[in-house]
Amino acid sequence: MQYFYSLENKRKLIEHPLFQPMIDYLIEQGSQEVILRQLKKAFPQKKMEHFLDQMIDSGLIIRENRRYRCAFPVYDQGDFQTEIKQLTKELINELMKQPEHRRNLFLSEEIWDFCHETTSPCFYATTFSVPTIVRLEAGNENYRFRTLTQGEEVVSLPTYFHLQKQQTPLSKEFQALGQLLGDVNETYFFDQIEIIIERICENKYKKRRESIFLDALLLARVVAQEEQYRLLLPITEDRKGALLQKYEPSTETPMQAAFIKEQALVEVMGQLDLKSYSYIKKI
């Protein structure tokens, strides 16, 4: 089973060793009532009741009249196929209206923001495997570096800082960046990067001494060294608008809409055969 959620505070609960077996147990019971005595028998582990209370407080399990049941929907692969196909078609049509060189950017900004729920509480599960699509971000108050990726750990600055925050051991591809930057402060790093980026854009940057910041940009393929340094990533301005809101699925619950939009996003990326895309957003 795969889980989708908009609020990061659910992650710890999902990673708890009791989470999956408890959810499986409640789902297996179907419409049969489950009482605390049954849960204690099925899960005799210490602090089970404390974990159960956490699940209730987070809204993932409902306790009503001393009966317990799963609080979130579980979707099968055949659910809402008509709605998913229709939304995918509409998003592709909007995408094709864009100039070819801006389509990946439109997908990473407009379509991602529309399809990926982040502002309101949302939690659901699927019985089938769904490609994991994430948009990683790092930067300062003026420039946000973003990487949209589908199941690939691509070498980029957002990916590096994400791995650092998660304290994930660095793979071979990130060893050079790790040796160069270590656990450098993110804001300080991007404050220095901002100066270099702006000078490169103005064709005014000249390397006067060794710089770990420039070396990091080269390693992460943000800039290339030719006769002059050249920026490889596109820069997009901060935008305000809701171009795709007219395509919001008409559903009974927010979770159904979130499921439809997530599946449509997977379909759109599949049709574009896009695995990863990096860019810079100027705030």
Closest by alpha carbon to 226, among 205, 210, 241, 247?
205
Rg for the chain (alpha carbons), in Å?
23
Kindly report the CA angle at 160 between 15 and 218, in degrees rounded to 5? 165
CA atoms within 13 A on the CB side of 117: 20
Closest by alpha carbon to 80, among 264, 283, 279, 237?
264
Task: Give pLDDT tens digits for 62-102.
Answer: 999 999 999 999 999 999 999 999 999 999 999 999 999 99
* Sole residue written with tokens 């099925």: 42
Query: From first to last of its 283 residues, what are the pLDDT tens digits of the chain?
Result: 999 988 777 889 999 999 999 999 999 998 889 999 999 999 999 899 999 999 999 999 999 999 999 999 999 999 999 999 999 999 999 999 999 999 999 999 999 999 987 667 889 999 999 998 999 999 999 999 999 999 778 899 999 999 999 888 999 999 999 999 998 999 999 999 999 999 999 988 887 788 899 999 999 999 998 888 999 999 998 776 667 888 999 998 989 999 999 999 999 999 998 999 999 999 8
Tell me the sheet residues that pair with 74: 125
| Contact assessment for residue 133 and residue 148, using Cβ atoms and an 8 Å cutoff | yes
| Contact assessment for residue 265 and residue 133, using Cβ atoms and an 8 Å cutoff | yes
The pLDDT assigned to 6 comes to 81
Closest by alpha carbon to 231, among 198, 206, 207, 208?
198
The pLDDT assigned to 163 comes to 93
What domains sit in the chain, N to C, each tagged with a CATH number?
A: 2-72 (1.10.10), 81-237 (no CATH)
- Please give the model's pTM, rounded to 2 decimal places: 0.87
How far apart are the C-alpha atoms of 122 and 266, rounded to whole Å?
Answer: 18
User: How many other CB atoms are there within 10 angstroms of residue 223's CB atom?
Assistant: 20
| Full DSSP string of 35-94 | -HHHHHHH---TTHHHHHHHHHHTTSEEEETTEEEE-S-EE-TTTTHHHHHHHHHHHHHH
> Could you tell me the two tokens for 137?
């971000």
